[in-house]
Amino acid sequence: MRRRPIRSGPGPARAERLRPAPRGRRARLLAAALALVLTAGAAAGEFTARQLIRSRIARAAPALGDTLTIRTGDGSALWDLANRRIPRLDVSSEDARLGPLPQAAVRARLDDVRLGGTTAVARTHAEVTVPARSLGTAVRTAAGSMPVGQVRTDPAAGTVEVALGQGGFGRLTLRPVIADGKVSLTVSNLTVLGRSVPPDDLGKAVPGPADGRPYPLGLRAGSVQVLPDGLRVVLDGGPGTLSGPDGGWTPAPDPGATP
């Protein structure tokens, strides 16, 4: 009698292990791998596009600082760069400089940015928050060798109070004002050892910080508000172009102006 060959383990299970993977499964794995590669490539391209846009804005507005970040609205930076047009560009920074005021937080929006040999911008809007410590830095720079102590804001009065000298023997009251589209701090009152300094001598005592350089991106201050912890400045700008290696700003001609 012929004996059947002895097999180890259940036959059907062994046959299943040796059977190649179904075609449908291999196709799904291949599609998933291809999608992963394409996604990684698109992410790298998007990152590169954002870096190129950020670099152009940084050159145009170095006062925005090192923490500058950009976001192209709800669209793709890669697509916008390929089309040389960004419908909306959101810009933010935590270490910007507003004239003589350092370490300001900026939230800005640029509308209808068109890229090319020059970069054209239809409108700009920004909100800037200047902390009290930045106000103190600006006053110290303006005061020279005069020791500057605590800086406090008075939102109700719309002023900034600064202690001067060793032990705070002087008290300086500053008022933020807007002149020619820029914010400055003017001296409204100064007392030394409890005695008020005559108004004619206020400008000589401790000059208010000033800076003749224009704000970046054609921005001009429209309002300034004293907050419990600093200042809030709102700025707007009309159409213009960025050009040259230093990103100089050229406002667009006024269509209503007489030639």
**What's the token pair of residue 39?**
């996604």
Q: Mean of the pLDDT values across residues 166-180?
A: 84
More confident residue, 42 or 226: 226
pLDDT of 43: 55
Which of 133, 71, 58 is CA-nearest to residue 102? 133
More confident residue, 255 or 123: 123
pLDDT band at 237 (very low <50, low <70, confident <90, very high): very high
195-196 vs 220-227, strand pairing mode: unpaired
pLDDT band at 38 (very low <50, low <70, confident <90, very high): very low
The answer on pLDDT for 174 being more than 60 is yes
More confident residue, 38 or 179: 179
The answer on pLDDT for 72 being more than 60 is yes
Range with the poorest average pLDDT among 2-6, 79-83, 112-116: 2-6
The answer on pLDDT for 158 being more than 80 is yes
Range with the poorest average pLDDT among 59-73, 117-131, 137-151, 167-181: 137-151
Where do we find the tokens 């008020």? 196
How many residues are there in the chain? 259
The answer on pLDDT for 205 being more than 70 is no
Q: Output the CA–CA distances (angstroms, integers) from residue 105 to 58, 68, 84, in the order listed.
A: 15, 10, 28
Q: Mean of the pLDDT values across residues 152-162?
A: 93
